[in-house]
Amino acid sequence: MSRRSTRSGIPLKPVYRPEDVAALGYDEALGDPGVFPYTRGRRPPDHAAAAWIQRELSGEGAPSQSNAQLKYLIETGATGLDVIGDTPTMAYLDPDHPAAAHAVGTQGVSLCCLDDYRELYHDLPLDGLTVSHSLPPLFGIAGFYLAARERGIDPARLRGSIVQPPFYCEDCGYATHMPFPLRLRMTADSIEFASREMPRFHAFLEDTYYISDGGLDVVEEMALGFVEIRYVVRELLRRGLLVDSFAPRIAILVNCGMDFFEEIAKIRATRRLYARMMREEFGARDPRSLAVNIASHTSGLSLTAQQPVNNIVRGTAQALALALAGVQGIEISGFDEAFRTPSPESHLVGLRTQQVIQLETNVSSVTDPLGGSYYVEALTAEMERRIQEMVARVEDMGDPAALCDRGWFRTLFQDAMERHARQVRDGTKPQVGVNVHRMPAHEDTLLRALAERKIEPSRERVERIRAFKRSRDSRRLRATLEQVSRAARDTTQNLMPSIIAATEVGATMGEVAWVLRAAYGVPGDPFGMMESPL
C-alpha cells in the first residue's frame, strides 16, 4: 500500500476538489438522511439523534455464566446484547461430543437445548432490548422464540438479529459440515418462519465481519456480502414470498478496520447500493425494505498481541468512524482479542469507549456530518462502483452456489489471508508494535497479565448434558426426531415447526443436526464419533 491509496488499493489524490464530485447530483446520489437512496442515513435526522445500539460481543461458559455476563453488560450501560456460541455450538455439536471436550464454553456460550436458552435469558427484559445472535440460525431462533413465549412475552415483540451464513460458513470459521442445499434451506426456512412469527426481529443478518476478518479488503467484503444477500433474496422470492414481507428485516453486520475514510465510504456506499438494488432489481416498495440497517463489529484482525494497550486506541478510532458513518449498532472488539476470549475488563473498556464518543464528543448531534465532503463523496462513489463491479464479476462466473461448492470462495479467502500476512511482513500494511515501533518482549508488559487468565472448559456442563440426555422420555424424543427427519426429506415443508416440537421435548441441537445431515446424505457426525439419535 503506498501512502496514496486506501487499504483496498483505491488510488488517492493529495486533495479533493469540487470537480471530483461534479457528476454526483444531490437528489440522485445522496438525498437527505432517511430519503432514497439513503446514502446519508437510514432514518430522517430526528430519529438519528437517538444513539446507536451499544453492545459487546459476549458469551462464555455455561448459559448461567453467560446470563451473569449479560447482566453485567446491561449494568455497565449496554443498550443491546450480542451472544456468540462456543466453537462446539457454532459447529452444531453438543458439549458431550468427544471433540468438544476441551472447548466447551471457552470461546463463547455453550448452548444445546431449551433449558440452556431459559438460563441464558433468565430475568432479562427480552421485550425491552435487542438481542443479536451469532448462533446457528434455526436453533437460535427456536430457543429465543420458545424462551420468550414461556415467559409470556409475545414473540412478535422480540427485537434483535441472527447471523445467516449459508455461503461462507464452511470456509470462514462457522463450519457446519452440512451441504449447501441444507444450509440454504435452514436460512430460508428460519427467515420465513420469523417474518411471520417474529416480525420485528432481523432474522436475516448478513454478517460480512466474519468473512472478512481473515484479510478480505472492503470491496471484497461487501461484494461477497451482496452476493449472499442477493442469492437468499432470490430464494425467498422463488418460494413465493413478497419482498416487502421480509426485506424490512434484513440487516448487515460489517467489519470496521483501520482505514478510517474507506470504512465510512464503504458504509455509505452500501446503503446506496442496497437501496437501488432492492427497488430496481427486486421491486421493493416499503421504505423499510430499501433503507438497510447496518451495525458493525470492529476488526479483530487489526488488533495486535504486541502492546495490547494500542488496541484501545484502535477501537476508539474505529468506533468514531462508525459513529460518523451513522450505523445502527456498534460492538468494539476486545483489546485483548489477539490473545484471549474477551475479559470483563475489555468489555468495560469497549462500552466506555462508545459512551465517551457518544456523550462527550458531540459527533452524533448532526446526521452524516461528512456528507458533501469532496473526498468522502468521491470515495463513496468509487467504492460503490468497485463493489458493484465485483458482484457482477462473481455472478457472471455462474451460479454462486456452484462456486461455493467448487471452493472458489475458499481460494479467495486463503489468498486474502496470505496477502494480509505478506503485507504485514513487508511493512506495506503498517501495524504499530508489529512491523514498526516495536518493543522488546520484556518491556511489553502493560495489560499483559490478562493473557495468563484463562477460561477453563466447562466439564460440569458436559456431565450435566449427559445426565439430561438420560433423563428424557426416549419414546417421545424419538418420535419428534423422526418428524424432523421426515420434514427434512420433504423440501416443501418448513423445518422450523418440527424443530420447535423436538426442542420442546428435550431434543438437543447436536441430535437434530445429526438427523438433518443424515437426511441430506452426509455423515450425521462429521467426526464419526457419535451414534445416531434415532
Partner 1 sequence: MLGLDQHEVGAVAVARLLRDAGMEVIYLGRFNLPPGIVKTAGDENGDVIGLSCHSWEYLHYIDELLALLRQQGLSIPVVVGGSVLTAGDERLLRDKGVAATFGPTSSVEDIPAAIRAVVMDARRP
Grid cell digits, residue 446: 502493560
Decide whether 424 or 534 has the Cβ nearer to partner 1: 424
Q: Does 417 bind partner 1 (CB under 8 A)?
A: yes
Decide whether 102 or 285 has the Cβ nearer to partner 1: 102
369 close to 363: Cβ distance less than 8 angstroms? yes
Buried b (16+ CB within 10 A) or exposed e, 203-237: bbbbbbbbbbbbbbbbbbbbbbbbbbbbbbbebbe
Q: Does 286 bind partner 1 (CB under 8 A)?
A: no
Minimum CB separation of residue 444 from partner 1 in Å reads: 7
Minimum CB separation of residue 246 from partner 1 in Å reads: 29
Q: Which one among 27, 418, 460, 463 touches partner 1, defined by CB under 8 A? A: 418
Sheet holding 250-256, edge to edge: 53-55, 329-331, 293-298, 250-256, 201-207, 159-163, 130-134, 80-84, 57-58
Q: Does 446 bind partner 1 (CB under 8 A)?
A: no
**Interface of this chain with partner 1, residues 337 to 366, rule: CB under 8 A:** 338-340
Residue 177 sits at φ, ψ, to 5 deg, of: 55, 40
Segment lying near partner 1 (by CB under 8 A), choices 5-13, 84-92, 327-335, 477-485:
84-92
Alpha helices in 99-163 (DSSP H): 114-120, 137-150
Q: Give 28's DSSP letter.
A: I
Residue 203 sits at φ, ψ, to 5 deg, of: -75, -10
Q: Which one among 406, 425, 437, 466 touches partner 1, defined by CB under 8 A? A: 425
Cα–Cα dist 238/102, whole Å:
43
Is residue 383 exposed (0-12), middle (13-18) or buried (19+ Cβ within 10 Å)? buried
Minimum CB separation of residue 148 from partner 1 in Å reads: 29
Q: Which one among 1, 175, 237, 505 touches partner 1, defined by CB under 8 A? A: 175
Q: Does 88 bind partner 1 (CB under 8 A)?
A: yes
Segment lying near partner 1 (by CB under 8 A), choices 20-28, 170-178, 218-226, 494-502:
170-178
Q: Give 95's DSSP letter.
A: T
Segment lying near partner 1 (by CB under 8 A), choices 115-123, 168-176, 275-283, 484-492:
168-176
Q: Taking the alpha carbons of 44, 45, 46, 48 in that order, is the dihedral positive or negative?
A: positive
Minimum CB separation of residue 102 from partner 1 in Å reads: 4
The closest alpha carbon to 188, from 411, 501, 401, 504, belongs to 401
Query: What one-letter code names the amino acid at 416?
Result: A
Q: Does 444 bind partner 1 (CB under 8 A)?
A: yes
Segment lying near partner 1 (by CB under 8 A), choices 74-82, 369-377, 414-422, 512-520:
414-422
Minimum CB separation of residue 341 from partner 1 in Å reads: 8
The C-alpha cell 450505523 sits at: 327
Segment lying near partner 1 (by CB under 8 A), choices 192-200, 270-278, 333-341, 399-407:
333-341
x-marked contacts with partner 1 along 94-113 as a string, rule CB under 8 A: -----xxxxx--xx------
Q: Which one among 3, 238, 454, 470 touches partner 1, defined by CB under 8 A? A: 454
The C-alpha cell 424424543 sits at: 477
Segment lying near partner 1 (by CB under 8 A), choices 18-26, 35-43, 263-271, 297-305:
297-305
Decide whether 172 or 232 has the Cβ nearer to partner 1: 172
Minimum CB separation of residue 36 from partner 1 in Å reads: 39
Decide whether 54 or 87 has the Cβ nearer to partner 1: 87
42 close to 293: Cβ distance less than 8 angstroms? yes
Minimum CB separation of residue 223 from partner 1 in Å reads: 20
Minimum CB separation of residue 414 from partner 1 in Å reads: 6
The C-alpha cell 518491556 sits at: 443
Cα–Cα dist 128/403, whole Å:
42
Minimum CB separation of residue 6 from partner 1 in Å reads: 21
276 close to 298: Cβ distance less than 8 angstroms? no
The closest alpha carbon to 450, from 299, 313, 318, 342, belongs to 342
Decide whether 288 or 419 has the Cβ nearer to partner 1: 419
Cα–Cα dist 253/341, whole Å:
20
Q: Does 466 bind partner 1 (CB under 8 A)?
A: no
Q: Does 457 bind partner 1 (CB under 8 A)?
A: yes
Q: Does 406 bind partner 1 (CB under 8 A)?
A: no
Cα–Cα dist 523/532, whole Å:
10
Decide whether 242 or 338 has the Cβ nearer to partner 1: 338
List interacting residues with partner 1 (CB under 8 A). 87-88, 91, 93, 99-103, 106-107, 172-175, 214-215, 301, 304-306, 338-340, 414, 417-418, 420-422, 425, 441, 444, 448, 451-452, 454-455, 457, 526-527
